[in-house]
C-alpha cells in the first residue's frame, strides 16, 4: 500500500552503575570495574525507528510520564509526515476499508472515526496504557496514522527493541556513567553515529522461512548438487529394512 512503517518503544531504565561488556586489554589482565556506585537516578531513551531506512529518532529523558512521551511522539511524527509523499486520494468507502483492513483478525478493535483522512503511516506500539489514551489515538487518526499494538508478551515483534539493544550495547558497554546526563549523552551520541550509516531491517523468523519455501514451491535439494525436485521425494527403503518390516508384521 506504499505506507511508511515506524516503530516506537522506550528503552531503560539505565542506572549509574558499572556496565559489563567486552573491551581491549592485555592478555591475562582483565579490565576491572568498581563494585560500588552512587544512586544518581535513572535515564530512559524514547525511540522511533523506521525499519525500511534504518533511521532512528531518539531522545534521552530522566522520567517518562505520558505527558512527556506523547508530546515527544507528536513532535517527531509531525516531522516524519512532512517528509512523506502526499497520499493518494481514494473514495471514502475504499479509504475506510483500507483503514479497517489493519484490524482484521483482532479480538478487540479500535472504533474508527466517522471521517478518516488518507492513510499514510503504520505505527507499531506496545500495550502501554498511555498509548491507548483516546485523545492520543484520535490525534493519530486525524494525521493519517494507524496504530498497531503488539500482543501481550510479544514485544519481540517490535523491531524498535532490536535497534535499542544495539544502541545500548554500543553506548554503555564497559562504561561507568556518574550521572543520568552522562547516560543520555552517550545514548544520543550513539544514535547520531548510527544515523550517519543506518542499517535497514527486514522481518525474519519462522514465518519468513515458510514464505520463502512457498515462493520456491518447496523445492528439495538433491544430494548436494545444484539440482532440485519440486515435489517431495519418496523415501525408498533398502532390502534389509523391507525384510525387517516383513518379519515384524509376521510376528
Give the start-to-end residue ranges of the domains of the chain: 4-196, 208-250
pLDDT in tens, the chain (251 residues): 678 999 999 988 988 877 776 666 666 666 666 666 677 788 999 999 999 899 999 999 998 888 899 999 999 999 999 988 887 888 888 888 888 888 888 787 888 888 889 999 999 998 887 888 889 999 999 999 999 988 776 766 788 888 898 999 898 887 888 888 999 999 999 999 999 999 888 777 666 666 666 666 566 665 555 566 555 555 555 555 665 666 666 55
C-alpha to C-alpha distances, 24 to 1, 21, 174, nearest whole angstrom: 48, 10, 10
Residue with cell 527493541: 161
Which grid coordinates are listed for 22? 567486552
Report the C-alpha gap between 133 and 112 in whole angstroms: 14
Please give the class, per CATH, of domain 4-196.
alpha beta
pLDDT of residue 136: 92
pLDDT of residue 84: 87
Contact between 194 and 171 (Cβ < 8 Å): no
Kind plus residue range of the DSSP H or E element containing 207: helix 206-215
pLDDT of residue 50: 92
Amino acid at each position: 500500500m506504499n505506507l511508511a512503517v515506524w516503530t516506537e518503544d522506550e528503552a531503560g531504565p539505565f542506572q549509574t552503575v558499572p556496565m559489563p561488556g567486552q573491551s581491549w586489554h592485555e592478555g591475562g589482565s582483565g579490565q576491572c570495574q568498581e563494585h560500588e556506585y552512587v544512586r544518581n537516578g535513572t535515564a530512559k531513551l524514547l525511540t522511533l525507528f523506521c525499519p525500511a531506512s534504518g533511521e532512528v529518532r531518539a531522545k534521552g529523558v530522566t522520567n517518562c510520564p505520558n505527558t512527556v512521551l506523547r508530546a515527544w511522539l507528536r513532535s517527531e511524527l509531525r516531522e516524519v509526515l512532512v517528509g512523506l509523499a502526499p497520499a493518494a486520494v481514494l473514495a471514502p468507502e475504499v479509504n475506510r476499508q483500507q483503514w479497517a483492513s489493519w484490524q482484521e483478525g483482532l479480538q478487540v478493535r479500535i472504533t474508527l472515526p466517522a471521517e478518516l483522512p488518507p492513510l499514510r503511516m503504520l505505527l507499531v506500539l506496545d500495550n502501554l496504557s498511555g498509548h491507548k489514551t483516546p485523545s492520543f489515538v484520535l490525534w493519530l487518526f486525524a494525521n493519517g496514522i494507524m496504530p498497531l499494538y503488539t500482543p501481550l508478551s510479544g514485544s519481540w515483534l517490535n523491531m524498535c527493541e532490536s535497534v535499542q539493544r544495539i544502541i545500548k550495547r554500543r553506548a554503555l558497554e564497559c562504561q561507568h556513567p556518574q550521572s543520568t546526563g552522562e547516560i543520555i549523552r552517550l545514548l544520543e551520541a550513539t544514535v547520531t553515529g548510527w544515523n550517519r550509516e543506518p542499517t535497514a531491517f527486514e522481518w525474519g523468523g519462522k514465518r519468513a522461512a515458510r514464505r520463502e519455501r512457498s515462493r520456491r514451491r518447496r523445492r528439495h535439494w538433491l544430494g548436494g548438487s545444484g539440482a532440485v525436485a519440486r515435489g517431495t521425494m519418496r523415501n525408498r527403503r533398502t532390502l534389509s529394512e523391507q525384510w525387517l518390516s516383513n518379519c515384524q508384521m509376521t510376528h
